[in-house]
Chains A and B, each alone.
Chain A
Amino acid sequence: MKLRVGIDVGGTFTDLTAFDEDRGEIVVIRKYLSDPSQPVAVMEKITQELAEEFGENSVSLILHGSTAALNTLLEEKGVRVGLLTTRGFRDVYEIGRQWRGEEVFNFFAPAPKMFLTRDRICEIRERLDYQGEVLDPLVPEDVVRAVRKLLADGVQSIAVSFLFSYANPAHEIAAARIIREMAPDLYLSLSSNVNPEWREYERTASTVANAYIGPPASRYLHDLESLSAKRFPQARVLMMKSNGGAASAEMLSRTPIQTIMSGPVAGVIGSRYLGDVKGIENLISFDTGGTSCDMAVIPGRPLFKSDVSVGRHPLRTYTVDIDTIGAGGGSIASIQLGGVLKVGPQSAGANPGPACYDRGGTDATLTDALVVLGLLNPRSLLEGAMPISGCKALDAVTTKVADPLGMSPVEAAWGILTVLSMNVMGAMRTITIERGYDPREFTLIPFGGMGPTIAGKIAAELGIGRILIPRDPGTFSAYGMLVTDVQQERSFTRITLLDQANPQDLEAIYRKMEESVMADLLREKFSRESLQALRYADMRYCGQSYEVSVPVSSLLSPEDLKDLGRRFHDAHHRRYGHMAEGEPVEIVNFKVTGIGIIPKPTMKTFTPDAGKLPSPEEVRPVYFQSTAPLSVPVYRRSLLPPGARIEGPAVIEEKTSTTVLYPGQKARVDDYLNIEVELEELR
């Protein structure tokens, strides 16, 4: 037996999916309660259980995603950090970009978040110019003095961010050497490692955040590795990175910040894989659980971004482009100023949870509304494993929404679903339109506990024609981890006018980066044949201050450069609706992604067995609007054979979620046991 195990640690639950590579089947799906105060504990429990059930050598690969690093930042539970900067630029971190952003109408707009106070920022005499040439050499005594002061102040971690270190890291490396001699155990975070790209504020902020989470994050990774080595000596342990690739603890030890979006990203990778298997190009992944909803547009390949904001603190780290809004099963409905119904972003969370959980919650949540409407089972969830109180749901919806608005409970419940769907729909339109796409050309992939329940309504409102619901939607993120590859990246800023560039010089830059990235992957015991390198260039028209990322092939002749220019014009046109072929073009960042390919598991297919739709578990009244209910059959998903066809309205219940087919929607169970839903008409 050869198990590939995906473990997704969320704030509330930890999901486990184990895939048997020999049989091509998923053999274990489990949910555990997370314990954020002892992140390793749940892993200990899981590895122990697996070892007992399947034996010491059963596991060959553990893929792991965790919100631990993210939560350390959000909850501000990192370590005490000091920062060394170039003299004259102590306040780069505090000044930020003098930008209120979305807080346009807030007289009390908060300052950008900082993970240290100004007295722990020390200036060092040194200066490079924009090409990395030394203007003022580093003064070692300044470093010594600063480190002494910071040590006396009790810092556990030091960030170093000098101007133009992306063009020449020598001064940061020299400073690091001095610090290591003085304090070998201190965690060190160098901007030339964390984010060797221009724009000093974002680079510095990322470097400080990396220093802030560095000690706990790397401790966690190493604990995990030794835990696995103890139970499964043969197994490789990998952590999901924000960009959808995976990496070992060793690869991440200097830059744990790369795992910051490790939680939600696996769902996107899983969606892409599912789309590839099904031959569907354009996807929107839609992951909705109790509190939040993560959405990503996947036009062929996942999109990436390099700037994210975590609790008002910017980070520049390469991540899959995911947008999150506060909408989920726990979203609370309330009447607000002006007598208007709002749903979310506040959530009842897992505790007390929706009123129907009967754990003391009295707010009306989306889950309660769905229970009142009959879209969710009014007696129990999770295939009977979790009894709920339909009365409590009705009570909450009645007293908190229906009575104050003078409407019936069913009208109120339908209103809650409608308002929440509209919030999600707005966000989904925003993320597609903003990137130049039309949502109607996409297939929706809903997962998480709540995704399949509301996807049908949202797709109809958006004019989306097809929905694909994976197996075990509630643990789909853990599944996504099973189909990822190991990735290592390099980036390098050098502003290069395309017209005046020599192709051999650029080729040499890429070759050098490729060699370095490949060396990392070879150390991870990949064979040369399983390695691949992709080149990208972040490009722009001269004078712009944003870039478009373009794939690059080999650059051997002037014709290759012309071709690269053409591809940039096209990409700019796609993203921005116009191009300027006469304008000079420049490369800003050179980027290489090295991939260590892990063979993908082959999914077992089932032969269609049409015509044998099992009889429904029950027929219950379900409201699809606020007037009369329909009698709706309720099926158990695990009993649906491949090839089965169901016409909406219908409800399909399973262990981790409930799928709703709205009237007029037609579903078919495919050869992999996914549910494909066709919407009757595009509105």
Chain B
Amino acid sequence: MNAIDLEVIYQSTLQIARELTLNMLRTGYSTIIKESQDFTFAIFDARGRMVAQGIPQPLHIGPLAAQIQEIRRVYRGKIEPGDTFIVNHPYRACQNHATDITIISPMFVGERLTGFIGNIAHKPDLGGKVPGTNSGDATDLFQEGLLIPPLKLLRRGELSTDLYEMICANTRTPQVTWGDINAQANTNVYGLETFAELFGKYGVDKVLSCWERWMEICEAELRKEIAKVPDGLYGPETDYIDDDGVDLDRPYRITASLEVKGDTLHFILDSDPQARGPINLRPCVSRNFIECCVKMIFIPQLPVNDGLSRPVRISYPPEGSLLNPRYPAPVNMYVRPSQISTSVIVRVLAHAVPGRVPAPGSAAGGSLSTAGYHPKWGRWYSQYEIFCGGTGARPHGDGVSAMDELVVNVMNTPVEAVESEFPVRVECYELVADSAGPGTFRGGLGTRRQWRVLAEESVINLRTDRFKFSSPGVFGAKPARPSRACLNPATPQERVLTSKVANVRLKKGDLLSWELAGGGGWGDPFQRDVERVRQDVLCGYVSLEAARTDYGVVLNPGDLSIDREATARLRKESTRS
């Protein structure tokens, strides 16, 4: 195949993936689709290998490949043109959590199966013990919403009304939930038509061999890059999740190491046994973000497809572990172990390919949901906000404040929108000085937001992490400052909260404060350029005190000029000790 067809056909495939995404954004029903963009698309060949993907949330695309394999196994010989499948079961094949629903449509040219279009979209509610389904103190899978094994949603183009009735009867928001499922299925059908045109224009065999070739290109280029890394064992690196939301005193360990051999990577994951609470993580999910990290580091300019998986092997701990849970362990808070696993993977990679990997970010991202009775509008309200801490430092510069580098990519809610819609007053929204992990390059800062309750009463749920642990940084950095949340800070009524709390009651006048951890640092902070430290103090990112203790830089309190002598002495002492 010549270079021009190769480019034109593959770009056309990517363009279709893009159009599927736009179509979904346009016709999706819930705010989860339209604003959080919590969905994703991918194209597969007939053997179920990923060929291309649509952009919004790559982090939850992992289950699709496993789900297609499961459909091929269960429906062997019974997959027909016009069929579309639905599945959300975390343990039949794989799924992030049950509120993510997958819709998969096989592509046919005549009677020949040529590939699959698959998409996953988060649902606002699918039954279960709490509104929104995902309960922070769930102790088994059945509390986490309706479970759907692989079933035909459309059979030869005809919608299963049985499934429609069944699903609508099992959600608190039937109109929105079904509206989204409908948009998912219709978008796949749109994709089938567009692919039919592509196959018609270039011929089936040419398109399929273009896909095949692109997977080979990605594989080959990745192998070339891996081969440059010295063979050896990197790690292990270990980190912890605060708790599982059920047993609040017990942290959970996650460990990773990496064996590089020739042109292959072998990640070895280990963890504590599975948790009672919903912080367990299915293997296909961790495989996905490990592959994302590998792509971002080794071949950032190439597309994502099955070729990337081929040089990467992953070993999991035995069944019954946090990272390899046994059915029916709950999984709805999968983002917490995802963030912490990413953090250890990034640290392992930082040692294997120094200079191309940032320090781990805060891994502190999470959500606050609030519900209560709106005194002015005279109805119940429910408010949902997502925040993230700072990114890790880079090998050549500081991290970015209030941003996540991988797992979370969701906008914050403007203060003016919050106050216009909900009975709260936001008292501040600001960067937290000294929250970043100190290093030669420091992490990005976390943020603080405070809410004053104006309703008579409201109830909050916090789903986050990093209150007990924080990003340790890499290459001699100091750890970042952990997150923290409390009620009525600096008053006699002060009450410190844990990172996963459910149904805390607040009264009118209460102040809730949540500050998020910063990202990890890169390198020894005592090596940080003195002028940079001074700039940080000038701008208020670092306090005068922290400049001295964390960075060994002494500034004159009056004009913030550098006390060179004291600084040199302090930094020298530290190298001696």
Contacts and interface: CB of A to CB of B under 8 A. Distances in A.
Same complex for A and B? Answer yes
Given A163-B415, A546-B34, A109 B23 contact: no
Nearest to B201: A683
B26 interface: yes
A535 B541 CA distance: 46
B237 to A, nearest CB: 17
Contact of B23 (A108, A199, A335, A433): A433
A37 to B, nearest CB: 31
Interface stretch (B153-161, B397-405, B492-500): B397-405
Contacts of A130: 416, 419-420
Contacts of B417: 198-199, 545
A95 B412 contact: yes
Interface in A405-442: 405, 407, 411, 414-415, 418-419, 422-423, 426, 429-430, 433-434, 436
Given A109-B400, A433-B19, 5 more contacts: A98-B403, A98-B412, A340-B7, A411-B2, A422-B11
B420 to A, nearest CB: 4
Nearest to B301: A337
Interface in B1-31: 2-4, 6-8, 11-12, 15, 18-19, 22-23, 25-27, 29, 31
B15 A426 contact: yes
Contact of A433 (B22, B58, B431): B22
Interface string B270-312: 0000000000000000000000100111011110100000000
Nearest to A342: B7
B151 to A, nearest CB: 25
Contacts of A163: 415-416
Interface string A65-98: 0000000000000000000000011111011111
A200 B7 contact: no
B26 A436 contact: yes
Contact of B427 (A88, A129, A580): A88
B425 interface: yes
Given A200-B414, A419-B4, A576-B27, A495 B420 contact: yes
Interface in B330-365: 357-358
A350 to B, nearest CB: 27
A578 to B, nearest CB: 7
B314 interface: no
A422 B12 contact: yes
A545 B34 CA distance: 9
Contacts of A94: 401-402, 431
Nearest to A421: B8
A46 interface: no
Given A94-B431, A100-B403, A198 B26 contact: no
A546 B175 CA distance: 20
B455 interface: no
B538 interface: yes
Contacts of B25: 434
B414 A430 contact: no
Contacts of A580: 175
A109 B444 CA distance: 12
B467 interface: no
B539 A107 contact: no
B297 A89 contact: no
Closest 9 A/B residue pairs (Cβ): A88-B428, A415-B4, A577-B27, A338-B217, A118-B539, A111-B400, A426-B15, A130-B420, A199-B414
A152 interface: no
- Most B CB atoms within 10 A — which of A108, A163, A418? A108
A434 B412 contact: no
A22 interface: no
A339 B1 CA distance: 11
Contacts of B7: 340-342, 419, 422
A415 B419 CA distance: 55
B410 to A, nearest CB: 8
B327 to A, nearest CB: 32
A152 to B, nearest CB: 12
A38 interface: no
Contacts of A200: 414-416
B457 interface: no
Nearest to B389: A98
12 contacts: A88-B429, A102-B55, A106-B300, A107-B358, A130-B420, A199-B417, A200-B414, A338-B214, A340-B217, A415-B2, A419-B11, A495-B421
Interface in B348-389: 357-358, 387-388
Contacts of B214: 338
A529 B175 CA distance: 50
A98 B27 contact: no
A628 interface: no
Q: How large is the interface on B (under 10, 10 to 19, 20 to 34, 35 or more residues)?
A: 35 or more
Nearest to A541: B31
Interface residues of A, number: 65
Interface string B78-122: 000000000000000000000000000000000000000000000
Interface in B142-176: 175
B132 to A, nearest CB: 14
Nearest to A103: B409
B403 A111 contact: yes
A397 to B, nearest CB: 13
B6 A340 contact: yes
Contacts of B416: 130, 163-164, 198-200
B31 A543 contact: yes
B430 interface: yes
Interface in B117-134: none
A86 to B, nearest CB: 9
B409 A99 contact: yes
A211 B15 CA distance: 39
Given A97-B412, A433-B19, A340 B8 contact: no
A91 B403 contact: no
Contacts of A340: 3, 6-7, 217
Contact of B35 (A88, A430, A546, A577): A546
Contact of A118 (B221, B402, B540): B540
B394 interface: yes
A298 B81 CA distance: 37
B29 A578 contact: yes
A89 B2 contact: no
B203 interface: no
B411 interface: yes
Interface in A337-361: 337-342
Interface string A386-417: 00000000000000000001010001001100
B470 interface: no
A600 interface: no
Contacts of B15: 426, 429-430
A94 B420 CA distance: 23
Contact of B31 (A89, A423, A544): A544
Contact of B414 (A118, A201, A423): A201
A95 B431 contact: yes
B429 A405 contact: no
Interface in A92-135: 92, 94-100, 102, 104-111, 117-119, 129-130
B328 interface: no
A575 interface: yes
Given A163-B416, A429-B15, A434-B22, A105 B409 contact: no
Contacts of A118: 539-541
Given A89-B430, A95-B401, A342-B7, A119 B415 contact: no
Contact of A426 (B18, B295, B391): B18
Contacts of B26: 434, 436, 575-577
A116 to B, nearest CB: 11
Given A104-B58, A105-B296, A337 B179 contact: no
A428 B415 CA distance: 36
A418 B4 contact: yes
Q: Which of A89, A111, A198 has the most C-beta atoms of chain B within 10 angstroms of its own C-beta? A: A111
A545 B55 CA distance: 21
Contacts of B411: 97-99
